[in-house]
Structure 1
Amino acid sequence: MANHKSALKRIRQAKVRNERNRYQGKTTRNAISKLRSTTEKKEAQDLLPKVVTMIDKLAKNNIIHKNKAANLKSKLTKHVSAL
């Protein structure tokens, strides 16, 4: 168990941040899978900018690596343009 007030606070902060990061990551993964399963081009084109924004936010906050974000965006853009 932590012995200092600051250590207790850091534990609380880490717990809150971990939950927030997990929520944002899961929400983005759901949006990505929804985009990948879309077969209509118009709907996919409307959804793509929103998903790209979500991916960029995850990369900015170091929830995912910037190269992974770039790879995801590239693959999704390719998928939408191939529809």
Structure 2
Amino acid sequence: MANHKSALKRIRQSEKRRVINRYYHKTARTVLKVLRNEEDKAAATLQLPSVISLLDKLVKKNIIHKNKAANLKSKLTKHVNKLA
């Protein structure tokens, strides 16, 4: 167990941050799953900008890596364009 006040504070901050990051990550996975399962091109086209925006925000907060976000955006865009 930590002995210094600063170490105790860091433990509290880390746990708080972990929970928040976990929520953001789970939310992103859910949104991606919904977009991947979308069959209607019009609905998917409307959803795509908000999903891309969410991925960019996750990159900005260092929750996911920028290359992973780029790969996801590319694959989702291809998926939406392929819908008939």
Per the normalisation by structure 1, the TM-score is 0.97
Distance 1:19 1:12 in 2: 11
Distance 1:54 1:19 in 2: 18
Give the total of aligned pairs.
Answer: 83
Per the normalisation by structure 2, the TM-score is 0.96
Secondary structure of the residue aligned to 2:62 is coil
Distance 2:47 2:19 in 1: 25
Query: Which string of whole-angstrom CA distances, capped at 9 and with x for unpartnered residues, describes residues 14-52 of structure 1?
Result: 001000000000000000000000000011011111111
Distance 1:18 1:45 in 2: 32
Counterpart of 1:45?
45
Matches within 5 A, 1:47-66: 47-66=47-66
Query: Structure 1 unaligned runs (5+)?
Result: none
